[in-house]
Chain A
Amino acid sequence: VAVVGRKLLLVVSLATLALAVNHFLFHWVLFTDAQLHRWLFNV
């Protein structure tokens, strides 16, 4: 059971990391959109 528990913990942790990468990638890319609006604000 301990082995399965560790494996499930690894699943949860890797999935959390993948979700964090997705979250970061989304906001990292979208910051360019924020820069575009900053540029259009008073170009």
Chain B
Amino acid sequence: MSEVRVAPPIAPGSYPYAWLFFAVWVAVLLLQIVALAIAFGRRRRARAGARPSLKLQVAAGVALLVLFAVGAAAVHAARNISMEAFALRRAPWDAGFGIVAQVNAFPAVTGRCLIAALLWIPGLWLTMDARCRAGVGRRLPLAAIAWLGLLPAVAGVWRWSATLADAFRASINVPFAEHHAILERGAALARTRLEHFARAASWAIVALAVVAAIAIVAGYARRRAPARPVAAGSPRMALLASGIAFALAGVLFVVARPMRAENRLPWLPAQQDDYRWFDTTTPELVGADAITGGPLVHVWPIAGDAAGAVFELDGHEVAADSLVDRLWRTRQEFAQRHPGEEFDGVVVAVVNRAAPYRAVVSMLRAAHDAGYAHPLFAFTRYEFADRPLFGRLRRPRASATRATLIDATDVMFADSPLGGETGTLVPLADFASYDALAGRLVELRRVGEPVVLDLAHLR
């Protein structure tokens, strides 16, 4: 017996432009290592009076920004795959690929950018320190330590990605409904973890900024009468740097606003209805009962033939006069396949609202005579969601209303007008269209009333 192997949906490290990002990272990494080595050498020479230049560190910083940009572009390319799939400019299933690619890209990009940044910072610090010792420029501002508070945020991205990757792996080879539930649970857990780390990062940034502020004030108090002039740098440069930092922060807050609006609005749970139940030509109603399954009977009208109808049983066309036999056979097959299991007598009826009423009654008669006394009348409606960035989304949802069929024989044997059942008696003879019948059934079931459909006295 051959073993079926399913490749995991997540190929480690797979995302658009992964190789380009890797190549740029290696190049930037080498530059940072060289810059760091030179910074070490310059710091030693600075003691001998040399004045090191900042150009190499600035170039290394610019290279770091290029790395960030390439990484962000790789994530954006993956994101764009999903957006294009949502807009149906590419295959719908590509949306899933784009999401998995982002789950792959985020930890790789943030991790490699962090390594490069951690190599750049000591080089910059050593060079600025060397310049300060040589009497030019100033040391790396103590304020920069606030940026170390971002480390938990990066850790949060890794944790988020790992949690989602676990959910994707767990969703392999599981039924449709369970697949969605696993991914939703994984996403909720990943989000909680990401929020936790982001909050920790915010507090760490604030705490480190407070430490820096205290150190600055304490240092000022100690150096009230400095023995040697303190290299304070140009006041204009310090104000300009602060202004640029505030402006960049404002830009980031504004750019994040649309994503924030989307991220804050809760989603409706993933849909789990069986597509076989969908038919937007059923009466526009919302039934109070769930569709539990069972043989599926469709009733369609025939264009140009007001009295004619087409019947389908589980997707196969069936002649009107053989529907009862086919349903009986289905019941027998159920008994053979599920020995010892109780037969529930449920049949799912998906009936077009324009189907002739006589055909509907004929279908119900066949169901009753084959032992399917509990029809579930299925209805389809569209459900809408208005999203800030994705716009108005819609999806079909199926619901049903349940009834119990009886006829004159049941009434006679049970010696009761309800044929031994309980609930409200609804004679099929009281209606002239399926629309009217469906409306009445839904009305009764909405108030929790069991419905007994009487096949007797039909005209």
- The answer to whether B242 and A10 have CB atoms under 8 Å apart is yes
Name the CB-closest residue of A to B243: A13
The number of A-B residue pairs with CB atoms under 8 Å apart is 194
- CB of B79 within 8 A of CB of A15, answer no
The answer to whether A6 and B147 touch (CB under 8 A), given A15-B209, A38-B393, A39-B99, is no
Which 10 residue pairs are nearest across A and B when measured between Cβ atoms? A15-B209, A20-B249, A42-B395, A13-B245, A40-B270, A13-B242, A20-B252, A11-B143, A37-B267, A27-B259
Give the complex CA separation of A11 and B146 in angstroms: 8
- Name 7 interchain pairs, CB-CB below 8 A, sorted by A: A13-B246, A28-B75, A32-B79, A35-B83, A36-B164, A38-B390, A43-B180
Q: Which of B48-56, B212-220, B440-448 forms part of the interface with chain A? A: B212-220
Given that A27-B263, A31-B259, A40-B184 are contacting pairs, would A6 and B238 also be in contact in the complex, using a CB cutoff of 8 Å?
Answer: yes
Complex contacts, A32 vs chain B, CB 8 Å: 79, 99, 102-103, 106, 164
Contacting pair A9 B232 (CB below 8 A): no
Inter-subunit contact A10/B143 (CB<8 Å): yes
A18 contacts B180, C-beta separation under 8 Å: no
Secondary structure call for the B interface: helix
Within the complex, what minimum Cβ distance (angstroms) separates B440 from chain A?
31
B4 in the interface, Cβ–Cβ < 8 Å?
Answer: no
Contact-residue size bin, chain A (C-beta under 8 Å from the other chain): 35 or more
- Chain B hits for A11, CB < 8 A: 141-143, 146, 209, 212-213, 216
In the complex, the answer to whether B147 meets A41 with C-beta atoms within 8 Å is no
Any chain A CB within 8 A of the CB of B288? no
The majority secondary structure among interface residues of chain A is helix
Q: Which residues of B contact A (CB under 8 A)?
A: 75, 79, 82-83, 86, 92, 95-96, 98-99, 102-103, 106, 110, 141-144, 146-147, 149-150, 153, 156-157, 160, 164, 180, 183-184, 187, 190-191, 194-195, 198, 201-202, 205-206, 208-209, 212-213, 216-217, 220, 230, 232, 235, 238-239, 241-243, 245-246, 248-250, 252-253, 255-256, 259-260, 262-263, 267-268, 270-271, 385, 387, 389-390, 393-395
Which residues from chain A contact B389 at a C-beta distance below 8 Å?
34
How far is A29 from B238 in the complex, measured between Cα atoms in Å? 32
Q: Is the CB of B245 within 8 A of A16?
A: yes
Which residues of A lie under 8 Å from residue B187 when comparing CB positions?
A: 33, 36-37
A21 CA to B160 CA, complexed, in Å: 17
B147-A18 in contact (CB<8A): yes
Q: B92, B144, B262 — which one has the most chain A CB atoms within 10 A of its CB? A: B262
Let me know if B153 and A40 touch, CB within 8 A.
no
B96, B153, B206, B263: the one contacting A33 at CB < 8 Å is B263
Given A9-B238, A33-B190, A14 and B245 contact (CB-CB distance below 8 Å): yes
Q: Which residues does A use to contact B, with CB under 8 Å?
A: 2-4, 6-43
Q: Give the nearest-CB partner of B181 in chain A.
A: A40
Looking at the complex, which one of B216, B242, B255, B262 makes contact with A34 (CB distance below 8 Å)? B262
Residue from B79, B235, B260 in contact with A35 in the complex, judged by beta carbons closer than 8 Å: B79
Report A-chain residues with C-beta under 8 Å of the C-beta of B96: 39, 43
Additional A-B contact list (17), CB under 8 Å, known A15-B143, A22-B202: A2-B235, A7-B141, A11-B209, A18-B147, A21-B150, A22-B201, A26-B198, A27-B260, A29-B106, A30-B194, A32-B99, A35-B82, A35-B102, A37-B270, A38-B86, A39-B99, A41-B267
CA distance A31 to B260 in the complex (A): 8
Q: A32-B103, A38-B86 are in contact. Are A12 and B209 (CB under 8 A)?
A: yes
- Known: A28-B256, A32-B103, A41-B268. Is A7-B216 also a contact (CB below 8 A)? yes
Which residue of the partner chain, among B157, B183, B194, B202, contacts A40 with CB atoms under 8 Å? B183
Q: Are B144 and A14 in contact (CB under 8 A)?
A: yes
- CB B148 to nearest CB in A, in angstroms, measures 9
